Amino acid sequence: MVKWLINVMIIVSYIMNSCNNPANFDQKARRIHHELLTLDSHTDTPIDMVRWNADIGQNLADSAWGGKVDLPRMQKGGLDAIFFTAWIGQGPRTPEGYRQAREKVNRTIQAIHDAVAKNSDRAELALTAADAGRIAKAGKHAVYIGIENGYAIGLDLSEIERYYNLGARYITLCHTKNNDICDSSNDTTEHHGLSEFGKKIVTEMNRLGMLVDLSHVSDESFYDVLEITTAPVIVSHSCARAICDNPRNLSDDMLLALAENGGVIQLAVYTEYVKTPEPNPEREAALQTLDAKYPNYEQMIEEEKRVVRQEYYTIRKKYPLKLATVSDLVDHVDHIVNLIGIDYVGIGTDFDGGGELADLQDVSQMPNITKELLRRGYSKKDIQKIWSGNFLRVFRAVEQSRPKTIG
């Protein structure tokens, strides 16, 4: 009897130690992660496709530009679906400025199509919410297209449908400066929210079944869109302002309004949005000097911009930020879930656009998010919602809300 009890105690002790063993927990987290359908709603990797002729079929970790995303590391990190965004910085609001913006976005979208075609054995262009799961089941990565900054529309509403037909499924209404559509969260007040033209933009996107992205917009612009949209919206790469007080993040009132709309906020892994940076006066002074030195950056030719970017990278290297962590990121998840529930939060890293954390340096480390969510007690069902379920719910709702005569 005593021998039997000893054996039982040994077995129980072994099981408990296994559960508490970090290596076992890591294996469990990785296994669960790779069983999920995962989606990242915002990456700026196409910038590198155009600027550096980056080949996403190759591991770009050691590239001169330090790429964060490529197909080999997507495979390693268990990322099934991704939005590659065609980014355009804000330039002159003139006929020539609009023409150049359209040309750049056209080139970027074509670069995405070319990258998918070149790697057709591993990637496929995705156009609908259902495509994410279908393509993943076929053993490939689903590649969606977004456009960052409605400046690319110019003043021509028909451009929206043209971009839609090229495969774009969301448009971020603005970037870091105001445009003709709305005010930006990082600029002074101009329209007091959404302009009259901007209202037409939202209406047209609703008509097409195109996702309206409210990252980068001012608070007034955010509420104006929610007032008129007939479909749920997305916030493709932002965080919670209550955790990190940054104008790019959403306040609690905005999060409550987002939930009422049925939309979703996709959390960026951009350190300045995740955790308030520690004071770094030398860095701030150097960046301010750089801004003053090149006040007309967006009007420069590409060769001139490369010089500015190199100076910027030098400053970043000389005065590095202390990076936030995945734990800091999941603090945002906790806050949002406690405030509005599990159904309104997802992941939109902003990789290759500044996104990185100390323990999430590139797409290969995505399982670290799942690991931290599990550690905090989130169920596999809840983690699935965070990784794609919530975003795809909104995507489907937007598709279903468009008039039956469209598509």
> CA triplet 79, 43, 95: central angle to 5 degrees?
150
249: Cβ–Cβ under 8 A, 6 or more apart, which residues?
Answer: 238, 239, 240, 241, 243, 273
- In this prediction, residue 11 has a pLDDT band, given cuts at 50, 70 and 90, of very low
Report yes or no: 170 and 234 within 8 Å, Cβ to Cβ.
yes
pLDDT at 9: 46
Query: Regarding predicted confidence, which is higher, 392 or 296?
Result: 392
CATH number among 3.20.20.140, 1.10.645.10, 3.40.228.10, 3.30.70.3280, domain 32-277+322-401: 3.20.20.140
Backbone angles phi, psi at 193, to 5 degrees: 115, -130
Query: Which among 378, 265, 394 is positioned nearest to 36, based on CA atoms?
Result: 378
Please report which confidence band the pLDDT of residue 279 belongs to, taking 50, 70 and 90 as the band edges: confident
pLDDT range class, residue 403, cuts 50, 70, 90? confident
Mean pLDDT, residues 112-124: 99
**Cβ neighbours of residue 334 closer than 8 Å, sequence gap 6 or more:** 376
**For the chain, percent of residues with pLDDT exceeding 70:** 94
Cross-strand bridge partners of residue 144: 83
- Angle made by CA atoms 407, 385, 160, in degrees to the nearest 5: 30
H-assigned helices in 36-81: 45-51, 71-77
How large is the average pLDDT for residues 383-404? 96
For residue 361, with 0-12 CB atoms within 10 Å meaning exposed, 13-18 middle and 19 or more buried, which class applies? middle
Question: What burial letters (b/e) apply to 67-102, b meaning 16+ CB within 10 Å?
Answer: bbbbbbbbebbbbbbbbbbbbbebbeeeeebbebbb
Q: What is the pLDDT of residue 120?
A: 98
> What element of type H or E holds 86?
strand 81-87
Q: Which residues, other chains included, contact 228 with Cβ-Cβ below 8 Å and sequence gap of 6+? A: 194, 199, 202, 203
Q: What local confidence, expressed as pLDDT, does residue 42 receive? A: 99
CB-side exposure of 311: number of CA atoms within 13 Å? 14
Is residue 200 pLDDT above 90, yes or no? Answer: yes
Rg of the chain taking only CA atoms, in angstroms = 22
**Phi-psi category of 360—alpha, beta or left, where left has phi over 0 and alpha has psi -120 to 50?**
beta
**pLDDT at residue number 116:** 99
Q: How far apart are CA 401 and CA 161, in angstroms?
A: 16
In single-letter form, the type of residue at position 149 comes to N
- Domain ranges (residues) in the chain: 32-277+322-401, 279-320
User: On the CB side of 294, how many CA atoms lie within 13 Å of its CA?
Assistant: 17
202 alpha carbon, distance to own chain's centre: 20
Q: 217: which strand partners? A: 184
Residue 275 in this model has a pLDDT that exceeds 60: yes
Spatial contact of 221 and 214, defined as CB atoms under 8 Å apart: yes
Cβ atoms within 10 Å, residue 382:
18
Can you read off the two tokens belonging to residue 267? 């959390």
Assess contact for 58 and 51: CB atoms under 8 A. Answer: no
User: pLDDT tens across 209-239, in order?
Assistant: 999 999 999 999 999 999 999 999 999 999 9
DSSP code of 249? S
Strand ranges, E, within 268-370: 345-347
Instruction: Please say whether the beta carbons of 101 and 148 come within 8 A.
Output: no
Mean pLDDT on 100-116: 98
Give ∠ CA 54-56-59 in degrees, rounded to 5.
95
